[in-house]
């Protein structure tokens, strides 16, 4: 579970994030929309412990990120816009390496199954990651998240630059993860995907979370209208 309580981050007098209150429960996908500079990445970075809050608290499974950064990191996985793994290692070797860092010792068979479940084609398992497409790298990122048994997944613009089929596949993989109780926070510019994949959608503007919507109860057109009125 992810929780922000009165969470704020300022750079000098500029409030990049202004008093965020948000809870994302197990099995929930929360999509954060907002124009460039709205505060989406700042929010993710606060949960990752990459930056310290100016005030308020970010919690992962009830544990404060600022006070226990090592502990909270164990519970989460992060997929940035560009997944940066080791280009000279294969998909399988990357997965093996990152899951061993997290303390898991999987057999080759288990690792292959993790990659297959994340949607990677068999023939890619033993190819160097440097030759992978963005979509393929993200699948390795998902496999790592599952291998780590991460309870929380943070994603920053995961579908930007993916073709519609890869993007659709990615959405399906995320939905599958929620069946295992993963809580997902996803920053995105993709209104269409946000509505399709998320349970709730937040619209952020100048550091404020201005609206929170139930994705099932709003049409794509309504969401776009609201977005354009908000930002």
Ligand X SMILES: Nc1ncnc2c1ncn2[C@@H]1O[C@H](COP(=O)(O)OP(=O)(O)OP(=O)(O)O)[C@@H](O)[C@H]1O
> In the complex, what is the shortest distance from the CB of residue 22 to ligand X, in angstroms, rounded to a whole number?
15
Structural contact between residues 223 and 189, judged by C-beta atoms closer than 8 angstroms? no
Name the residue nearer to ligand X (CB basis): 38 or 60.
38
Residue window 39-58: x/- pattern of binding to ligand X, with contact defined by CB under 6 A:
xxxx----------------
Rule CB under 6 A: say whether 69 interacts with ligand X. Answer: no
Distance CA 69, CA 75 (A): 10
* Cβ atoms < 10 Å from Cβ of 87: 12
Site for ligand X in 6-35 (CB under 6 A): 11, 16, 34
Name the residue nearer to ligand X (CB basis): 42 or 182.
42
- Binds ligand X (CB under 6 A): choice among 26, 27, 37, 69: 37
Distance CA 113, CA 75 (A): 21
Q: Distance of alpha carbon 172 from its chain centroid, rounded? A: 14
Name the residue nearer to ligand X (CB basis): 48 or 95.
48
Q: Any bridge partners for residue 29, and if so which?
A: 184
In 25-135, DSSP assigns E strands to 29-33, 55-60, 63-64, 76-79
Rule CB under 6 A: say whether 119 interacts with ligand X. Answer: no
Name the residue nearer to ligand X (CB basis): 91 or 207.
207
Residue given tokens 């997290």 in the structure block: 102
The Cα diameter of the chain in Å comes to: 53
**Tokens encoding 196:** 């399709």
- Binds ligand X (CB under 6 A): choice among 24, 38, 144, 173: 38
Name the residue nearer to ligand X (CB basis): 38 or 118.
38
- The site for ligand X (CB under 6 A) is made up of 11, 16, 34, 36-42
């Amino acid at each position: 579970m992810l929780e922000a309580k009165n969470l704020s981050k300022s750079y000098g007098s500029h409030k990049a994030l202004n008093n965020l209150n948000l809870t994302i429960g197990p099995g929930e996908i929360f999509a954060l929309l907002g124009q460039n500079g709205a505060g989406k990445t700042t929010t993710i970075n606060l949960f990752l412990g990459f930056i310290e809050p100016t005030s308020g608290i970010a919690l992962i499974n009830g544990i404060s990120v600022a006070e226990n950064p090592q502990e909270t990191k164990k519970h989460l996985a992060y997929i940035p816009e560009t997944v940066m793994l080791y280009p000279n290692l294969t998909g399988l070797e990357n997965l093996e390496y990152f899951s061993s860092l997290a303390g898991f010792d999987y057999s080759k068979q288990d690792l292959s199954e993790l990659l297959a479940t994340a949607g990677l084609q068999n023939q890619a398992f033993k190819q160097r990651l440097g030759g992978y497409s963005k979509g393929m790298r993200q699948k390795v990122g998902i496999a790592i998240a599952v291998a780590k048994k991460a309870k929380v997944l943070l994603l920053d613009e995961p579908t930007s630059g993916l073709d519609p089929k890869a993007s659709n596949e990615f959405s399906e993989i995320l939905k599958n993860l929620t069946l295992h109780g993963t809580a997902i926070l996803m920053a995105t510019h993709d209104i269409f995907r946000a509505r399709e994949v998320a349970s709730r959608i937040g619209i952020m503007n100048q550091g404020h979370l201005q609206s929170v919507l139930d994705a099932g109860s709003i049409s794509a057109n309504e969401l776009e209208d609201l977005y354009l009125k908000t930002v």
